[in-house]
Amino acid sequence: MKTLSLNGIWRLQGKPQYKSGDFEIFIDDATVPGCALLELSKKGIIPQDIYMGENILETEQYEDWEWVYSRSFVAPEERTAVYLVFRGVDCFAEYFLNGEKIGDSDNSFIPFEFEIGDKLRDGENEISVRIKSPVIEAHNKDITIDAITHCWGHPSINATVRRPAHSYGWDIMPRAVTSGIWRDVLIEVRDDITFSQFFFDCTNVKNPTFIYELKSKWEDFRDVEIELCGRCKDSEFSVRRRAALKADRFSFEISDPKLWWPYGYGEPNLYDVEMRIYSSGKLIHEKKTRIGLRNVRLERTDELGCFRIVVNGNEIMCKGTNWVPMDAFHCRDRERYPAALELLKDVGCNIVRYWGGNVYEDHEFFDFCDENGIMVWQDFSMACMNYPETEEFCRVIYKEAESVVREYRHHPSIVLWAGDNEVDEMFMSSNGRMPSTNILTRKVLPHVISLNDIGRPYLESSPYYADKTVGRWHCRPEAHLWGPRDYFKSPYYKDSTAHFVSEVGYHGCPSLESLKKFITPEKLWPYHDNSEWILHSSDQLGDDGRIKLLEKQVREFFGVVPTDPEAFILASQICQAEAVKYFIERMRTHRPDKSGIIWWNLIDGWPQISDAVVDYHYDKKLAYDFIKASQIPFIIAGDSDNGQEIRIVACNDTLVERRGSYKVIDVESGRTLSEGNFTSSLNSCTQIASLPIEKYNHGMLAMVWKLDDGTVGYNHYLLGDPCYTLEEYSNWLGKYKEISK
């Protein structure tokens, strides 16, 4: 197959869609992949620093504009099996080749392609894409809205538009109703016989099954054979089979299969596979892919009891983060991948949850997770809305889900498909319907998965409500713990009965240097009644609730709220760091009653004051280092949830027994409070010591251990309840850092 990239410089023209007449804006050097709003920013038509202050509000005046991208290209010599492929266009678009309309699209999330061989002319050809206003097209959309359709924070009609939900404004993202060609544009000259789809069913790791469908003309389909060759370290396989017709399956053997494991539990082994198609002995087509051999199950109960991910027969203690949009302008996602993904690995995550208000990430994201043993919990792109359940919209979701599942199903890192984010909760809060009546997540999506994937579990919604748990949130085995944002060891958090927590977070203010990058000097301080702080802590609705929560969390912990910006920032970051550390270690020290936590969240998608532990500009908050220390596969941690003792617990999230020695040190005095040897069983937690809580009720403990393999580790535990002073906490933290050098 030959591929010609049409990325690069395009012409861009724009005007209000409701006006007839000539275009009003002309840009000769627009970039694809790109976004019309960013082009306006680059040209200074709207502010160039689009995230500074309240500049993002300037984008709203262009929501009812239409845009035309165009460019010329030299046609390939071939005229058969030539396809024009758009990997992502946002959102309602018409496509023209040499002035002739060749198609339409109406979904930002999935690729669209058009066969153009018979429409090409020799030499120069002209392609143009008319991208229509999302708000006007939603208004004019010929679609029936049912009575249940409802959106969180914006008009219900937006639920019918297949674009990222956050683009209309969210509590973690700004309103930026974008238009553009946001992913690659390609011309593909395809071989006479190609794979129209393929799938490796690896539920039997020693005898996988290859399922395929070929595309070719009947006259080209003669004496066709398929060859598969794969290698992982010293494990190899090679098989060649005749293809009698265009679609079939066959099994093959892998001796000594190398399994794919999540981080901490083994190596994330991947097989490099070459797939070849021969016709009458001649090589016609070849394609490379990678597969991972592993089994995965979701074991769960409807009520309190169990929610756990099992890989290769072993329960995995899940420790990871929610993955929110990389940027409000998704054409910039790819440039942010390298740094963000390295953070994901460095902080020690073995799972990442793709949040349903986002776009579907590109293959670079999944490739990285494959290579590093990071499990992916993949929501479909629906969040916090009651979506239409008309026949027409069900067909839209079916088509989208089929495209997504077929696109990404070969990635072993994907261990769970999930229907949506918090739609079950929306059902109950907005119209009192039982979530089990949701046709999209109870019928459409599971049907797509059952037809297109094998051996990968499905969760209807996150959090999922069975009928018997409606109105009884404390009875769910999987939960999002947001609640009052009071002290992080309050009963709301400490006494949660959830077996698995898939969202929980705590606010932390970015550093002063980061704040200066998006808050104007005159608005930098104080934060009270400050329009820029409000905008960068919620969305364009003007709600200052998140600033009040941030202030509340500082007051809960320290009793007072510092009036100096540096002290306020430090205090908020300490609160966040101790909170998320507690959430993680609480789950780890309570196995087998707990099985995982996916905290909110790793990195911001725009500059803001939020729960993220790394800000948009990649500056790490204090919580980052605390989380990194809490997520390593083996730690010793403290716990005093029963109010009577301080339990010292060895948390071993590996498949190897751990032995070694430990010390528990009072940080303030440097005195050793407990020491000894321990044995920690594989994939479990073991109490190795206890201290009377009344004797050690305020301060900080340091846990130091040395494993028999020579590995030395450190952790700390904060004793007692608030209030602490900023001075005493800073003193303890400084002394702990000296101990752990």
Instruction: Enumerate residues 6+ apart whose C-beta is below 8 A from 337.
Output: 326, 362, 364, 365, 368
Is the predicted pLDDT of residue 299 greater than 90, yes or no? yes
Residues 438-446: contacts with CB within 8 Å, 24+ apart? 438/389, 439/389, 439/394, 440/382, 440/387, 440/389, 440/393, 440/394, 440/397, 444/394, 444/397, 444/398, 444/401, 445/380, 445/397, 445/401, 445/417, 445/419
- The pLDDT of residue 716 is 98
Per-residue confidence at 698, pLDDT binned at 50, 70, 90?
A: confident
pTM of the model: 0.96
Question: What proportion of the chain, given as a percentage, has pLDDT over 70?
Answer: 99
Beta carbons within 10 angstroms of residue 514's beta carbon: 21
Given a contact cutoff of 8 angstroms between Cβ atoms, the answer to whether 462 and 384 are in contact is no
pLDDT tens digit string along 606-661? 999 999 999 999 999 999 999 999 999 999 999 987 778 999 999 999 999 999 99
The mean of the pLDDT values for the chain is 95
Cα 73 from Cα 66, distance rounded (Å): 23
Cα 713 from Cα 707, distance rounded (Å): 8
Is the predicted pLDDT of residue 149 greater than 90, yes or no? no
Per-residue confidence at 35, pLDDT binned at 50, 70, 90?
A: very high
pLDDT tens digit string along 557-616? 999 999 999 999 999 999 999 999 999 999 999 999 999 999 999 999 999 999 999 999
Residue 311 bridge partners (DSSP): 296, 314
Exposure of 32 in the CB half-sphere (CA atoms within 13 A) = 27
- The pLDDT of residue 152 is 67
Per-residue confidence at 148, pLDDT binned at 50, 70, 90?
A: confident
Exposure of 76 in the CB half-sphere (CA atoms within 13 A) = 21
Is the predicted pLDDT of residue 144 greater than 70, yes or no? no
Classify 351 as helix, strand or coil.
Answer: strand
| Structural domains of the chain in order of their starting residue, each with its CATH number | 2-189 (2.60.120.260), 194-291 (2.60.40.10), 297-507+583-630 (3.20.20.80), 634-739 (2.60.40.10)
CA angle 596, 599, 600 (to 5 degrees): 155
Residue 377 bridge partners (DSSP): 353, 416
Cα 598 from Cα 587, distance rounded (Å): 11
Given a contact cutoff of 8 angstroms between Cβ atoms, the answer to whether 217 and 261 are in contact is no
Per-residue confidence at 156, pLDDT binned at 50, 70, 90?
A: confident
Residue 375 bridge partners (DSSP): 351
Is the predicted pLDDT of residue 431 greater than 70, yes or no? no
- The pLDDT of residue 140 is 87
Q: ω into residue 232 within 30 of 0, thus cis? A: no
Per-residue confidence at 430, pLDDT binned at 50, 70, 90?
A: low
DSSP 8-class letter at 608: -
Q: What are phi and psi of 348, to 5 degrees?
A: 90, 25
